[in-house]
Amino acid sequence: MSTPATTPAFPAAPAAPPPAWIEIDLAALAGNHARLTRLMRVHNPAAEVAGVVKANGYGLGADLVGPALARAGAPALFVAHLAEGAALRQALAADPYQLQLARPVYVLNGIAEGEADDFLAFDLRPVLNGPDDLDRWTRAGRTRGRPLPAALHIDTGMSRLGFDEAGFAALAADPSRLGGVDIRITMSHLACADDPAHPLNRRQLDRFLAVAAAIGRGRLSLANSSGLFLGPDFHFDLGRPGVALYGINPIPGRANPMAPVVHLKARVLQVRTIDSFESVGYGAAARARPGMRVATLAIGYADGWPWSAAGKGEVMIGGHRAPILGRVSMDLVTVDVSALPPSLIHGGAVAELIGSHRDIDALAEDAGTIGYEILTRLGRRYARRLVTSGQTQVYPIGVPTPQTEVDPAP
Ligand SMILES: *Cc1c(COP(=O)(O)O)cnc(C)c1O
């Protein structure tokens, strides 16, 4: 018999501070939820705002933002996949306030064959996107002896998910087809909500009104983040915002009504003064001049910092702006710190990359993409830290969000 090899006792993680991190302001998140709730309640005092936390909470961690939104009063949470729902259910179960009992979790992409047991084991509800989903959930209910709760999604013009025109017509002709499921939400999704002038918005609204009249069950839900800003006609009973909760502007071209939730920070690894070298970084894409001082930051495209934003924008170090230089490396970005007081620039100094000087929407514009993509690609590699905006937030429902203070960084 051989002796089993002993496992060396490594610590769980380094104790030293991380090289780059995102700060997530849960007070601002709850404030954004409250802001959207107020917007809806002007015309409908019973309206509620759910939280969409798919793609791991838009990259911020569904384990963090899911419970935070539940505490802020979101009556339901939406994920895309079964596995996301299972992870969220575990995070909600670990929440000290145990509010998960009152928080249904809906799976937007529907239910595949063989998934019903997992849906029930994790207390998840499918969004029924077509006759196959309806059939699977009806069968699952029959074996359990009761119709099971679900949302019903009717496509009103996006041609992506939901009962198509023929599928809806069949339901409208014979609503008893829904008799084996317990529909809690009837929903549709807008294709052009961020463009208020687009005629498809009105067409989708008219079709959704027809859906509601023919087969509407439970709460009616049409609007995502931008849809909530199309006016009260689009509100119905339940808002389904995602991106606006996380601080992205839901009304492009106008002032952002949402509070920033995400700050991105990275440390300076090295500082150098250029002597005779003529360029900085890959591709020799940035010109250097003698005497220029360059700081190298511990962040790159593998951290979700967009390669396509090379050479654009600035970072903030100690309240000063430092222009980004040259290409973005996998793990590194270089900035021109020639104009900054030398005492501020040293290994370990903190640079802010996303913050009040440059929000996610501005970065997305420089990178030729949308804020959604920037946001969802952040955070896979970073440490996450909770901060508080310091403002007193009034929560309409639920209990105050606990806060963790971190070391102050510029
Ligand atoms: C992603 C999604 C939302 C949330 O959209 P945002 O634009 O992030 O507010 C709402 N409903 C459905 C069906 C979605 O897929």
CA of 224 to the centre of ligand 1 (A): 5
CA of 158 to the centre of ligand 1 (A): 13
The pLDDT value recorded for residue 2 is 58
pLDDT in tens, the chain (410 residues): 556 666 778 888 788 888 999 999 999 999 999 999 999 999 999 999 999 999 999 999 999 999 999 999 999 999 999 999 999 999 998 877 765 556 899 999 999 999 999 999 999 999 999 999 999 999 999 999 999 999 999 999 999 999 999 999 999 999 999 999 999 999 999 999 999 999 999 999 999 999 999 999 999 999 999 999 999 999 999 999 999 999 999 999 999 999 999 999 999 999 999 998 889 999 899 999 999 999 999 999 999 999 999 999 999 999 999 999 999 999 999 999 999 999 999 999 999 999 999 999 999 999 999 999 999 998 677 788 888 765 433 322 223 333 333 333 33
| Identity of the amino acid at 322 | A
Residues 6+ away with beta carbon under 8 Å from 38: 396
Tell me if 26-246 shares its fold with 262-358.
Answer: no
The pLDDT value recorded for residue 393 is 34
Tens of pLDDT along 171-184?
Answer: 999 999 999 999 99
Cα 267 from Cα 271, distance rounded (Å):
11
Q: Which of ligand 1's atoms lies nearest the C-alpha of 244?
A: 9
Please report where in the chains the tokens 């939104």 appear, as a residue: 69
Residues 6+ away with beta carbon under 8 Å from 251: 194, 196, 226, 229, 257
pTM of the model: 0.91
Cα 324 from Cα 201, distance rounded (Å):
40
Q: Which of ligand 1's atoms lies nearest the C-alpha of 58?
A: 8
| Identity of the amino acid at 62 | A
Cα 148 from Cα 132, distance rounded (Å):
15
The pLDDT value recorded for residue 43 is 94
- 247 C-beta neighbours (distance < 10 Å), count: 24
- Strand runs labelled E in 274-319: 279-280, 286-287, 293-297, 314-317
Q: Where are the alpha helices (DSSP H) in 263-399?
A: 360-367, 371-377
Return the CATH number of 262-358, one of 2.40.37.10, 1.50.10.10, 1.20.1250.20, 2.60.200.30: 2.40.37.10
- 31 C-beta neighbours (distance < 10 Å), count: 24
Q: Which of ligand 1's atoms lies nearest the C-alpha of 153?
A: 13
What residues does ligand 1 touch, defined as CB less than 6 Å away?
Answer: 52, 54, 108, 189, 224-225, 240-244
Q: b or e along 193-202 (b: 16 or more beta carbons within 10 Å of the residue's beta carbon)? A: bbeeeeeebe
Boundaries of every domain in the chain? 26-246, 262-358
Cα 170 from Cα 186, distance rounded (Å):
16
Structure tokens at 320: 């000063």
Q: Classify 26-246 by CATH class.
A: alpha beta
Residue 185: phi and psi, rounded to 5, are -140, 135
Closest C-alpha to 228, from 27, 46, 29, 50: 50
Structure tokens at 286: 């940035």
CA of 51 to the centre of ligand 1 (A): 9
* Candidate of 53, 106, 108, 230 to mutate for ligand 1, largest count of ligand atoms within 8 Å of Cβ: 108
